[in-house]
Structure formats: C-alpha cells, structure tokens
C-alpha cells in the first residue's frame, strides 16, 4: 500500500464508519419512536400503517447494524430527538422529520461509500430508496392527522 492509499484510508475510513454509526443510531431511535407512536391512540388503520413503516425501517436498521458489526462497531444513539408531541399529528410529524433527515444523510453516505466499498454503497442506496418510499407513506399519514387540514 502506497503513502497516498494509507493517508486516504486514515482520512476517509474512520469518518465514514463513524457517520454510519450515527445513522444506524438514528434509525434505531426512529423505529422505537414509531412503534411507540403506533400504540398511542392512533386510528387502527393508521396505526397498522405506521407499524408497517416501522418494520421496514427496522429491517434497514438490522442491515446497518450488520455492516457495523463487520467492523466491530455499533449504532450510536442520537444526541437529541424532536420532542414527542402532544397529539398524533405532532408525533408523526416528528417521526417524519427524523426520517427525512435520515434519508438525506444516507443518500450522501451511499455516494461516499461507493468509491470506498461499492457493495456497501449499493446497499446504502437501496436502503435510501426504500426509506424515501417510507417517507412518502409517513407524510401521507401525517397529513391525514393534520388538525388544520380541510375536509
């Protein structure tokens, strides 16, 4: 390994995996929040859809955890999360905010990983695409609960 490869590995390697730890922690926190919110007084049909989104994101969290485990790393819990909210709309809007941020950062991570480790980059791209679909579904559910929405 040449000097430039060693320097590049030292600069890009740890930062990417550190950022992936943070992303996995955000995903784990999101899944826990969504599962809790599905149990807190949502209409049954909406609660089932929120549970389904939470399970999709739980599958993503398991994949991220597996990537981290190969490097002997674990998800890092987020430092702060949006407040829980006083009604269903606020709770799902907070979940949506976390999911939007997760998806954006994951898309950037996927591009950076593609040059370092193409298989991981491809996996992260797939997760980002599926998370974007989940984002759309959750946005639709939150809109149904918007207290200011017109009939």
- Ordered DSSP codes for 28-54: HHHHHHHHHHHHSS--HHHHHHHHHHH
Q: What is the DSSP letter of 71?
A: T
DSSP percent split of the chain into helix, strand, coil, nearest 5 = 80, 0, 20
> How confident is the model over 98-143, as pLDDT tens digits?
999 999 999 999 999 998 899 999 999 999 999 999 999 999 999 9
Q: Sign of dihedral through CA atoms 68, 117, 110, 14?
A: positive
Whether 75 and 21 have beta carbons less than 8 Å apart is answered as yes
For residue 86, give every residue at least 6 positions away whose Cβ sits within 8 Å of its Cβ, in sequence order, or none: none
For the cut 60, the answer to whether the pLDDT of residue 11 exceeds it is: no
Summary mean pLDDT of the chain: 88
Question: 9 falls in which pLDDT band (50, 70, 90)?
Answer: low
The share of the chain scoring above pLDDT 70, in percent, equals: 88
Q: What is the DSSP letter of 86?
A: S
**Tokens at 150, concatenated:** 């017109």
**Tokens at 122, concatenated:** 């491809």
């Amino acid at each position: 390994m040449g000097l430039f490869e060693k320097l590049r590995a030292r600069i890009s390697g740890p930062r990417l995996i550190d950022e992936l730890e943070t992303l996995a922690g955000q995903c784990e926190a999101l899944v826990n929040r969504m599962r809790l919110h599905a149990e807190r007084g949502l209409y049954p049909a909406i609660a089932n859809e929120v549970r389904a989104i939470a399970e999709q994101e739980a599958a993503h969290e398991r994949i991220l955890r597996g990537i981290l485990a190969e490097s002997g790393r674990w998800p890092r819990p987020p430092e702060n999360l949006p407040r829980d909210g006083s009604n269903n709309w606020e709770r799902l809007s907070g979940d949506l905010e976390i999911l939007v941020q997760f998806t954006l950062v994951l898309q950037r991570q996927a591009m950076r990983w593609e040059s370092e480790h193409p298989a991981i980059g491809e996996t992260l791209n797939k997760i980002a695409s599926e998370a974007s679909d989940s984002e759309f579904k959750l946005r639709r559910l939150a809109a149904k609960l918007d207290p200011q929405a017109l009939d």
